[in-house]
């Protein structure tokens, strides 16, 4: 699902992905049906060096056995960050992860987050996580926290694997680019975590993506 072009904190705006209607700020919005892929209709390629204990190389590809119908209004493509090694200062996280009440989100949520410097991220983790349990951060990861200083992060359990993206100008129009993938955070209350979210840096895995995506519709910009 493609977020709107303006940034709003997770929970303030909801995009329902069920084929029904809902009221958003007094306006009735009807969404298109979701596209579901069942067992046997896709193949998963996990990174060969994925380390579950440390969260490193936390990336995988899903190959659909039949194309997605991108003609639907709520289904679309997103660009990879070719030629964009530098992270923007702010990014948008989306997902169906648990809410601040730790209930499962039925609707797609999103929130603006800012990139945190690595030293600051490590320092904040060490304040709440014992040294022996600290997951080492690699150069292929980056950290984010919520724009609102009262809430450090908006991601939670269930958001892992979700895209972290931003919209950029491409000539006369705007396009979405995926810079990251939500990986992990601390095991504290959703919406009130005291440590940033750790994300996979997609730019660091572009060669791996191209090598394992069969080259279908993928080429460098």
65 vs 46: CA distance, rounded Å: 17
pLDDT digits (tens, 9 = 90+) for 117-175: 988 888 877 766 555 456 678 899 999 987 766 665 578 888 889 999 998 887 788 88
pLDDT digits (tens, 9 = 90+) for 55-114: 789 999 999 888 888 887 777 888 999 989 999 999 998 888 877 777 777 777 888 889
55 vs 200: CA distance, rounded Å: 9
Residue 192 reports pLDDT greater than 70? no
What is the pTM assigned to this prediction? 0.77
Radius of gyration of the chain (CA): 18
Give the pLDDT of residue 52: 81
Q: Do 94 and 109 meet the contact criterion of CB atoms below 8 Å apart? A: yes
pLDDT digits (tens, 9 = 90+) for 32-53: 567 777 888 899 999 999 988 7
**φ, ψ at 186 (rounded to 5°):** -85, 160
Q: Taking Cα atoms as reference points, which of 41, 34, 81, 91 lies closest to residue 62? A: 41
Give the pLDDT of residue 110: 81
Residue 20 reports pLDDT greater than 60? no
201 vs 179: CA distance, rounded Å: 6
Residue by residue, DSSP assigns the chain as: -PPPSS---TTSS-B--SSSEEEETTEEEE-PPP----TTSEEEEE-TT-BTTTTBT--EEEEESS---TTSTT----B--TT--SPPSEEEEEE----TT-PPPSSBEEEEEEEE-HHHHHHHHHHHS-GGGPPPPPTTEEEEEESSTT-S----TT-TT-EEEEEEEETTEEEEEEEEEEEE--SS-TT--SSPEEEEEGGGGHHHHHHHSTTSS----
Q: Do 164 and 91 meet the contact criterion of CB atoms below 8 Å apart? A: yes
């Amino acid at each position: 699902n493609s977020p709107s072009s303006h940034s709003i904190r997770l929970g303030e705006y909801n995009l329902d992905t069920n084929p029904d209607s809902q009221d958003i700020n007094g306006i009735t919005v009807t969404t298109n049906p979701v596209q579901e892929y069942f067992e046997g209709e896709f193949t998963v390629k996990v990174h060969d060096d994925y380390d579950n204990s440390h969260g490193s190389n936390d990336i995988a590809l899903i190959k659909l056995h039949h194309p997605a119908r991108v003609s639907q209004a709520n289904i679309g493509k997103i660009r990879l960050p070719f030629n964009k090694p530098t992270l923007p200062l702010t990014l948008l996280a989306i997902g169906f992860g648990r809410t601040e009440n730790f209930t499962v989100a039925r609707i797609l949520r999103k929130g603006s987050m800012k990139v945190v410097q690595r030293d600051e991220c490590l320092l904040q983790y060490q304040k709440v996580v014992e040294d022996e349990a600290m997951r080492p951060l690699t150069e292929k990861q980056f950290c984010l926290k919520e724009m609102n200083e009262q809430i450090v992060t908006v991601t939670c359990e269930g958001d892992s694997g979700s895209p972290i993206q931003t919209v950029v100008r491409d000539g006369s129009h705007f396009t979405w680019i995926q810079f990251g993938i939500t990986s992990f955070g601390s095991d504290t209350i959703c919406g009130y975590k005291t440590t940033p979210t750790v994300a996979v840096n997609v730019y660091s895995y572009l060669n791996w993506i191209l090598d394992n995506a069969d080259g279908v519709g993928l080429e460098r910009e």
